[in-house]
Amino acid sequence: MKYLIVGLGNIGEEYANTRHNIGFIVLDALALNARVKFSSARYASLSKMKFKGRTFVLIKPTTYVNLSGKAVKYWLTKEKIPIENLLVVLDDIALPLGFLRMKKKGGDAGHNGLASIIERLGTIEFPRLRIGIGDDFARGYQSEYVLNRWTKTEEKIMIPRIEIAVEMIKSFATIGIELTMTAYNNK
């Protein structure tokens, strides 16, 4: 069993540790936990790991968030992974800070990375793990908010949530999305 786990974020030091890069941050934690490293590959930083007989292909697209679909489509095809074994990890301003929600499918909810993936795959039917970054910004300042770094208070909330997100990814691949949603959503 093979899974494509995609963490959304932007490349470059200026985006490191920003709210929009929570997908990268979670994948870095997952890779660190498995003692694997990322290397440069086509359209993405790539790592592979094994967990309970499953192979995880981890990618952090290097196409920037808004063109993530290009990397997702390429790696799904290259690795011959069925779409139901795809999991996209991303930030969500509609969820309170630190809130974790796994979904089987859905629209883009205004997230340009999801919009790109939906456009490239031609479907909304793929799993995603949405991580709440809150919406503490003035009208018209959404871009600045998501591209800013975490505050110290936010970091204290998010660090344990990142570990739970890693557990959710492993759970998704071992017990399936339904049981994972039941065990973790809204907790």
Of 19, 20, 101, 128, which one is the catalytic site residue?
Answer: 20
Residues in the chain: 187
The one-letter code for the residue type at 101 is R
d(CA 179, CA 187): 14
Contact indicator for 18, 143 with CB cutoff of 8 Å: no
Residue with tokens 């290259």: 78
Told to judge if 111 belongs to the known catalytic residues of this protein, a careful annotator would answer: no
Count Cβ neighbours within 10 Å for each residue of 42-73 and write b for 16 or more, e otherwise: ebbbbbbbeeeeeebbbbbbbbbbebbbbbbb
Cα 45 to its chain centre, rounded Å, is 13
Place of tokens 């290009």: 70
User: Which active-site residues does the annotation give?
Assistant: 20
